[in-house]
Amino acid sequence: MIEESREYREVVQSGNVKKGWKPLDGKHVASGRKVQFKPTHCDDKGRMCHGVRVRGADKSEECFKHTMGKAPAACSFAHSRLGDTLQFICAKCTCEKKRNEYCADKFKHKQFHFNLGPYRNKNGDIWKLAVST
């Protein structure tokens, strides 16, 4: 079981809980079963994070090839300006590592990986990288 973070407890106790702080259903990568995950923190880019991310998972690394316009559907890299990032977390590493680290054991830890869908912001909307013009 993943412990509640200090930030999560503070927000809940304050009574000013925005939709982004609500738990998200994560889908187990192998079995498809669903488990709820509470947010751990909001990162410096405005994404609500729910655990230690999985390095190399689909849509987890930014694409540097398709930087303008639409991206091909077959591209497995994220296009954060379009909001197509996916949050894959490792439940095992979330319990064992610091929140800013990542799970590098993509194949060894597969039984602990969950897909939480697109990153959300504090308001609960799909997170997109704010692009300044």
Q: How many domains does one find in the chain?
A: 1
Per residue in 102-113, pLDDT (tens digit) is 999 989 999 999
Question: What does the pLDDT read at residue 62?
Answer: 85
* Structural domain harbouring 45: 1-12+22-64+82-124
Residue 95 is assigned to a structural domain of this protein: yes
Residue 35 is assigned to a structural domain of this protein: yes
Per residue in 78-87, pLDDT (tens digit) is 998 888 889 9
Residue 132 pLDDT > 70: no
Per residue in 42-77, pLDDT (tens digit) is 999 899 999 999 998 998 888 999 988 899 989 999
Residue 118 is assigned to a structural domain of this protein: yes
Residue 6 is assigned to a structural domain of this protein: yes
| Token pair in block for residue 62 | 């930014």
What's the DSSP call for residue 92?
Answer: H
Which range is most confident: 9-18, 112-121, 122-131?
Answer: 112-121
For the CA atoms of the chain, what is the radius of gyration? 15
Reported as a pLDDT band with limits 50, 70 and 90, residue 133 is: very low
Question: What does the pLDDT read at residue 47?
Answer: 92
Residue 17 is assigned to a structural domain of this protein: no
Model pTM score? 0.86
Dihedral, CA of residue 72, residue 105, residue 120 and residue 43, to nearest 10: -120
Residue 54 is assigned to a structural domain of this protein: yes
Average pLDDT over residues 6-19: 90
Residue 130 is assigned to a structural domain of this protein: no
Query: Which stretches of the chain are assigned E, i.e. beta strand?
Result: 24-28, 34-37, 41-42, 48-49, 52-54, 88-90, 102-103, 113-115
